[in-house]
Amino acid sequence: MLKLAVISLITLFISACGIKNAADAGTSPYGNGVPSDPLASATMKGTPSTVLPGITYDVTVPNDQRALIEADFDTLNSLNITDSSDAEVLGINDFRTATLKRWLLDRTKYIVGESYNSKVLVRVAQSNYDYGSVGIADQVNEDDYDPNVRIVTLMSNLGAAKYLNGKDSSQLLSMGVNGGYISVTTPRIGLEQLAEGHFTANRVPGTELGSLTNRLLRLAVYFHEGRHTDGNSDNTAMPHKVCTSGTYYKKAACEGNSNGPYAVELALLKKFPNQCRGCTYSEISTINAKIADKQSRMINPRYSDPTPVRNL
């Protein structure tokens, strides 16, 4: 029971939203033609990103959100970051557009929408699956999870969360995307869930969702979530840490890795005010507020090995 609670909390750590339970097999939400054996599926009928081919949108992503995400990705093309300080946080040598695109593409493969139903679309593909000998460290207390708090979904690395769920129960899970199934053998399957909150929570008041500042704010979040596909052994998915003081005291909203998700997001955000050409002080100061907030979450961070779990 305690173990289940701990894993649930770790799921919460690496996601911006509530816990979605791993589900057992059910009827296919995609109707006839979907392989009964989830592992047998190889091809998906997804909608690939035109800006970052290699990323596939699930049918659950609404068109308007997809258009905004595409615009966010396209913003990478207009960046001109010459200052390479903090590049080591991402494990790269520079912040050139090509480098950033490669980094993101390595870690993001699928984007699913808010209506993605984990209870139906996450299946047990294999029981008694051998994940290797290393377990998941107990890093949190049960007290940290409050089931009564309504959590608004922003964006979460659902693939990494399901990998941890599966590992804990020694089951190989698979996740449905666009009629096919992906085996969750590593957090690097790169499946992220995105909800409307992602757009409303990363917005300068009174500005259009598609404004440059809002695109930059959201772009940093994609990199944050991307980092959750990294790490191994007891640092798999590079989970957040429970804050020991400050505004987020006792919440899993702090960073213990100097190269973890918040650190990655912070490194990018620090570059963005100078990229916000034509932006008002009001817009730049909104980015700065986010920088200060993320900085306040860094608690004695140490460098961690970001090598991802290999595909078994």
Partner 1 sequence: MKSFLASFFFIVLFFFCLLFFTAKPVSHVQGNEDERPLQNPIAVQKQAEAIQKQSLSVVKSAIRQPKLSNVAFQTYLKTAVKSLPTFDQVRDAAKNSHDTPEIILNAGALIGGVADQMKNDANNIQPGLNFFKFCAQNESIVESIRAVCLRTLVDISSKYRNNVRVTFADYPDDIQRMARHIPRLR
Binding residues for partner 1, rule: CB under 8 A, are 15-17, 149-152, 154, 197, 201-207, 221, 240, 246-249, 251-253, 270, 273-274, 280-296
Residue 196 near residue 65 (C-beta atoms within 8 A): yes
Q: Based on CB atoms, which residue is closest to partner 1, 131 or 223?
A: 223
Name the minimum Å distance from CB 301 to partner 1.
13
Q: Is 106 helix (H, G, I), strand (E, B) or coil?
A: helix
Residue 307 near residue 230 (C-beta atoms within 8 A): yes
Q: Based on CB atoms, which residue is closest to partner 1, 50 or 274?
A: 274
Strand 191-194 and strand 155-156: the pairing is antiparallel
Q: Based on CB atoms, which residue is closest to partner 1, 6 or 252?
A: 252
Contacts of residue 105, defined as CB under 8 A and 6 or more positions apart, other chains included, come to: 52, 54, 55
Name the minimum Å distance from CB 73 to partner 1.
19
Name the minimum Å distance from CB 187 to partner 1.
17
Cα angle: 147, vertex 152, 155; to 5 degrees: 115
Q: Which of 283, 291, 155 is nearest to 218 (CA)?
A: 155
Name the minimum Å distance from CB 190 to partner 1.
19
Distance of CA 60 to the CA centre of its chain: 17
Q: What are phi and psi of 44, to 5 degrees?
A: -120, 150
Q: Based on CB atoms, which residue is closest to partner 1, 109 or 294?
A: 294
Q: Based on CB atoms, which residue is closest to partner 1, 90 or 177?
A: 90
Name the minimum Å distance from CB 273 to partner 1.
5
E strand or H helix at 181: strand 180-183
